[in-house]
Amino acid sequence: MTKWRKSSYSDNHQGACVELAGAKDAVAIRDSKDPGGPVLVVPRAALRAAIRSADE
């Protein structure tokens, strides 16, 4: 079973958040409001680069 996690910060935003589930080399991402919906799987390094880029 996949263990999904979301930020406690999302509780202050009516659940408008994403959830993450980790594997060894990848991270799965889904919309917390639609847990049965599509899932995006990206390499960990790509997610790190995207987060760093968004922070600039």
Say which residue the tokens 């993450």 belong to.
20
Distance CA(49)–CA(51), nearest Å, equals: 6
Q: Is residue 2 part of a domain?
A: no
Q: Is residue 28 part of a domain?
A: yes
Query: Above 80 in pLDDT, residue 9?
Result: no
State mean pLDDT over 11-30.
Answer: 82
The pTM assigned to this predicted structure is: 0.75
Q: Is residue 23 part of a domain?
A: yes
**Res. 1 pLDDT band, cuts 50 70 90:** low
By residue count, the chain amounts to 56
Q: Is residue 13 part of a domain?
A: yes
**Res. 17 pLDDT band, cuts 50 70 90:** confident
Q: Is residue 1 part of a domain?
A: no
Domain count for the chain: 1
Query: Above 70 in pLDDT, residue 14?
Result: no
Q: Is residue 51 part of a domain?
A: yes
Expressed as residue numbers, the domain containing 39 is 8-55
Q: Is residue 42 part of a domain?
A: yes
